[in-house]
């Protein structure tokens, strides 16, 4: 269970913040763990990260796939490979170390309890009714309504 949770957090940190410094990876990982602690989200990191609508495979109706671009975390359902590219092993190892620290509660929450974030180059509708808690790297982090 711990290994799976850490791997999910590491994959999310890598895909969501691989172009940022370690504080960006910590922040996106903290949002996942803040959601785990929230009554409004699933209670484990993998379920939080993979949360979203699914559709049955056209080949096998017993197999379900996430609906493209409808997931909580965009990398999970963008239709692209989730394999770590060759040459990015060091960045992924950094994401894995962040994931271990955040999962074990050894890293302070640099998002002030945020449950949501988005990149600074987009403006989702929901952001207008949330409170900005932090800006880290190219992400803006939010708490409940203003």
Report residue 145's pLDDT band, with 50, 70 and 90 as the boundaries: confident
Which pTM value belongs to this model?
0.92
Sheet of strand 130-136: strand arrangement: 116-119, 139-145, 130-136
Output the pLDDT for position 1: 66
pLDDT of 11 higher than 90: yes
How far apart are the C-alpha atoms of 115 and 117, rounded to whole Å?
A: 7
Output the pLDDT for position 70: 86
CB distance 70 to 53 below 8 Å = yes
Please report, to the nearest 10 degrees, the dihedral formed by the alpha carbons of residues 59, 74, 20, 34 taken in order: -110
Averaged pLDDT for residues 93-110: 97
Length of the chain: 146
Averaged pLDDT for residues 70-90: 91
Report residue 146's pLDDT band, with 50, 70 and 90 as the boundaries: low
The β-bridge partners of 142 are 116, 132
């Amino acid at each position: 269970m711990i290994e799976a949770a850490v791997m999910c957090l590491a994959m999310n940190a890598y895909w969501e913040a691989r172009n940022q410094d370690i504080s960006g990876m910590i922040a996106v990982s903290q949002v996942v763990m803040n959601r785990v602690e929230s009554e409004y989200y699933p209670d484990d990191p993998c379920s939080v990260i993979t949360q979203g609508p699914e559709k049955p495979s056209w080949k096998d109706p017993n197999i379900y796939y996430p609906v493209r671009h409808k997931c909580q975390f965009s990398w999970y359902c963008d239709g692209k490979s989730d394999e770590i590219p060759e040459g990015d092993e060091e960045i992924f190892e950094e994401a894995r170390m962040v994931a271990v620290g955040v999962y074990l509660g050894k890293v302070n929450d640099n998002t002030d309890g945020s449950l949501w974030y988005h990149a600074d180059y987009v403006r989702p509708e929901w952001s207008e009714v949330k409170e900005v808690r932090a800006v880290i790297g190219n992400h803006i982090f939010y708490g409940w309504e203003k």
